With several copies, the nearest count.
Chain A
Amino acid sequence: MNAVPKLNAHTLRADFPIFEQQMHGKPLAFLDSAASSQKPRQVLDAMTEFYETSYANVHRGVYVLAERATEALEHARERVRAFLNAPDVREVIFTRNATEGINLVAYAWGLSNLGPGDLVVVTELEHHSNFVPWQFIAGKTGAEVRMIPLDEHGELDLSVLEGIAHDGRVKVVATNLISNSLGTINPVAKLAEWAHAQGAIYVCDAAQGAPHTKIDVQALGVDFLAISGHKMCGPSGASALWGRAELLQAMDPFMTGGHMINSVRLEKTTWGELPHKFEAGTAPMAEAVGLGAAIDYLEAIGLDAIEAHEHELAAYALGRLGDVPGIKLYGPPADRRAGIVSFNFEDIHPHDVAQILDLQGVAIRAGHHCCQPLMQKLGVAATNRASFYLYTIPEEIDQLVDGLHAVRKVFA
């Protein structure tokens, strides 16, 4: 018997209407969940029900619909808090996507706290969304950006840290928890400790982490953490940023306008309390409700079961792909990665691979995965990437492997 809880992907798959159709006359093998996951009926129903029975603008209305809507939104906020084990629900800010969460910190913290001589430390593994905002705000403030390089296993080479700390004041360390290209799981808790020893804040991009592993912001010891709702069975349009209350309270707001104020005068405007200070204008209300329902869905299955399922699939995929002639695999071994596998044929471009796979019902991603610095490091323009989620079944990986043999035949 297995101590790790197991999920039954074949059963869960029935919750996802998208799989009720065929692609080019073949079953759909959807292996692009790292870009965005599919949605279970439970999430779609929660949003529709909200619109049909409880919709109104939140927080101000004294009538029933407004109260229901406010309660639903705030309940979703509490679900996010619990999901991240955040100490205080007021630390949870709804954003459109993980990118906005990181921009919020880069602007609202960075514009007033960064300056010449300051360093922002990122990694070669970062998604553009956790690199470009830092580069952009560093450019506006005179700070500099440094990258922690990768070693040959696709893991971070932490031996450079000491040298970096000698080059300037480290003010921000920003890394992802799980790489969206290689599936690498990064040593966030360790890096956060190092960041704090430098007097820096630690910003964690958990866009790939949150769907796949249990997150505990207190155990990780980070200061900000961004998640991406649409990658964890939630709808597009709602994600969340968590931040430490002391930091959020001391910061300027990011976007300003309706809802986020305490009082507005021509002479002076004062900001509202957390989390409202960071939520200007009408919130993505139904989408936040959908995100709350997604968290209910994930937690009913269990994050540990999801994680175990993905490790199993990653191991299976690495094994089967390794047998396809001419394939080069990137990234760490199966036991040190999430359910993401990047690979290339030596002589066939990923676009062609993905296109031919599509004709066989297999959806993978081909491109730089918003990781151009990593691609440069790997010496390629692009890779193929197959990524898995709780509804992924081994048959889809078999379909991928069969498809890759067909790709080779075309280019033989």
Chain B
Amino acid sequence: MDAGLESLYREVILDHYKNPRGHGVIEHADAEAEGQNPLCGDEVSIYVAFGEDGETIDEVKFSGRGCAISQAATSMLMEMTKGRTADDVASLDKEELLAEIGVPLTPVRLKCAMLGLTTLKVALHKAKGTPLPDGLAGFDDLELT
């Protein structure tokens, strides 16, 4: 495998892709949304259950189909956000996720990587009744067709 391949499809990404964390559905979730990448038709659904306080993310799961980058990024996101507050995650800087992914992405692949995060943010804003911020990280990227 050459250097480019090695970096984009490095072990940790393939591992998250093949063994996605938090893959599944939460019945009667407190927050829920579906997102799609108009570029390739990929879809992801995100489900969130809050803790007692109605703020802390107790459980977060995803289902859907997608490429290795989008699936791995969403899997990483599940690990990153569990236990944090809804507020915190609703304004999560996309750089935090990108750092986790750890490889440079081209604009098209950035949309893949952001699909899960954007959908999660939409789910949280919907549940909280807060308006979707205009600068919703990755949203515009995501919806580019």
Query: With a CB–CB cut-off of 8 A, which chain A residues contact B107?
Result: 67, 70-71
Query: Using an 8 Å CB-CB cutoff, how does the interface string of A184-223 with B read, 1 for contact, 0 for none?
Result: 0000000000000000000000000000000000000000
Q: Are A272 and B143 in contact (CB under 8 A)?
A: yes
Tell which of B39, B109, B144, B145 touches A355, judged by Cβ atoms closer than 8 Å.
B109
Q: Are A61 and B108 in contact (CB under 8 A)?
A: yes
Query: With a CB–CB cut-off of 8 A, which chain A residues contact B8?
Result: 355-356, 359
CB nearest neighbor in A for B36? A263
Q: Are A67 and B106 in contact (CB under 8 A)?
A: yes
**Leading 10 A-B pairs by shortest Cβ distance:** A381-B41, A272-B145, A351-B67, A349-B67, A273-B143, A359-B4, A382-B40, A368-B41, A367-B40, A352-B68
Query: With a CB–CB cut-off of 8 A, which chain B residues contact A66?
Result: 108
Query: Using an 8 Å CB-CB cutoff, how does the interface string of A354-389 with B read, 1 for contact, 0 for none?
Result: 011001100000111000100100000110000000
B1 within 8 A of A: yes
Q: Are A356 and B41 in contact (CB under 8 A)?
A: no
Scan residues 1-35 of chain B and give those whose CB is less than 8 A from a CB of chain A: 1-2, 4-5, 8-9, 14
CA distance A360 to B70 in the complex (A): 22
B42 within 8 A of A: yes
Query: Using an 8 Å CB-CB cutoff, how does the interface string of A383-412 with B read, 1 for contact, 0 for none?
Result: 000000000000000000000001001110
CB distance from B111 to the nearest CB of A (A): 10
Number of interface residues of B (CB under 8 A): 29
Q: Are B108 and A273 in contact (CB under 8 A)?
A: no
Query: Using an 8 Å CB-CB cutoff, how does the interface string of B41-61 with A read, 1 for contact, 0 for none?
Result: 111000000000000000000
CB nearest neighbor in A for B141? A273
Query: With a CB–CB cut-off of 8 A, which chain A residues contact B5?
Result: 356, 359, 406, 410
A67-B108, A262-B38 known; A24 and B4 CB under 8 Å? yes
Query: With a CB–CB cut-off of 8 A, which chain B residues contact A360?
Result: 2
Tell which of B70, B109, B144 touches A273, judged by Cβ atoms closer than 8 Å.
B144
- 13 A-B pairs within 8 Å (CB atoms) are namely A24-B4, A60-B108, A70-B108, A273-B143, A350-B67, A352-B68, A355-B67, A355-B109, A356-B8, A356-B9, A366-B40, A372-B41, A411-B14
CB distance from A87 to the nearest CB of B (A): 11
CA distance A350 to B66 in the complex (A): 9
B65 within 8 A of A: yes
10 new A-B contacts, CB < 8 A, other than A70-B108, A90-B140, are A273-B144, A349-B65, A349-B67, A349-B68, A351-B40, A355-B69, A355-B109, A356-B5, A360-B2, A410-B9
Scan residues 107-145 of chain B and give those whose CB is less than 8 A from a CB of chain A: 107-109, 112, 140, 143-145
Q: Are A262 and B145 in contact (CB under 8 A)?
A: yes
Query: With a CB–CB cut-off of 8 A, which chain B residues contact A406?
Result: 1, 5
Q: Are A273 and B68 in contact (CB under 8 A)?
A: no
CA distance A67 to B105 in the complex (A): 11
Query: With a CB–CB cut-off of 8 A, which chain B residues contact A372?
Result: 41
Number of interface residues of A (CB under 8 A): 37
Q: Are B144 and A276 in contact (CB under 8 A)?
A: yes
Q: Are B144 and A368 in contact (CB under 8 A)?
A: no
CB nearest neighbor in B for A380? B41
A4 within 8 A of B: no
Q: Are B145 and A260 in contact (CB under 8 A)?
A: yes
Query: With a CB–CB cut-off of 8 A, which chain A residues contact B14?
Result: 410-411
Give the one of A66, A351, A411 with max B CB within 10 A: A351
CA distance A146 to B43 in the complex (A): 26
Q: Are B66 and A60 in contact (CB under 8 A)?
A: no
A259 within 8 A of B: yes
Q: Are A276 and B40 in contact (CB under 8 A)?
A: no
Q: Are A62 and B109 in contact (CB under 8 A)?
A: yes
CA distance A261 to B107 in the complex (A): 18
Scan residues 326-364 of chain A and give those whose CB is less than 8 A from a CB of chain B: 349-352, 355-356, 359-360
Q: Are B41 and A410 in contact (CB under 8 A)?
A: no
Scan residues 68-122 of chain B and give those whose CB is less than 8 A from a CB of chain A: 68-70, 106-109, 112
Tell which of A59, A60, A90, A382 touches B42, judged by Cβ atoms closer than 8 Å.
A382
CB distance from A268 to the nearest CB of B (A): 14
CB nearest neighbor in A for B1? A410
Query: With a CB–CB cut-off of 8 A, which chain A residues contact B36?
Result: 262-263
Give the one of A60, A349, A360 with max B CB within 10 A: A349
Query: Using an 8 Å CB-CB cutoff, how does the interface string of A227-264 with B read, 1 for contact, 0 for none?
Result: 00000000000000000000000000000000111110
CA distance A61 to B39 in the complex (A): 9
Q: Are B108 and A276 in contact (CB under 8 A)?
A: no
Q: Are B9 and A368 in contact (CB under 8 A)?
A: no
Query: With a CB–CB cut-off of 8 A, which chain B residues contact A71?
Result: 107
Q: Are B112 and A375 in contact (CB under 8 A)?
A: no
Q: Are A375 and B41 in contact (CB under 8 A)?
A: yes
CB distance from B64 to the nearest CB of A (A): 10
CB nearest neighbor in B for A412? B14
CA distance A382 to B70 in the complex (A): 14
Q: Are B140 and A60 in contact (CB under 8 A)?
A: no
CA distance A66 to B107 in the complex (A): 11
Query: With a CB–CB cut-off of 8 A, which chain B residues contact A61?
Result: 108
CA distance A355 to B70 in the complex (A): 13
CB distance from A88 to the nearest CB of B (A): 9
CA distance A240 to B77 in the complex (A): 39
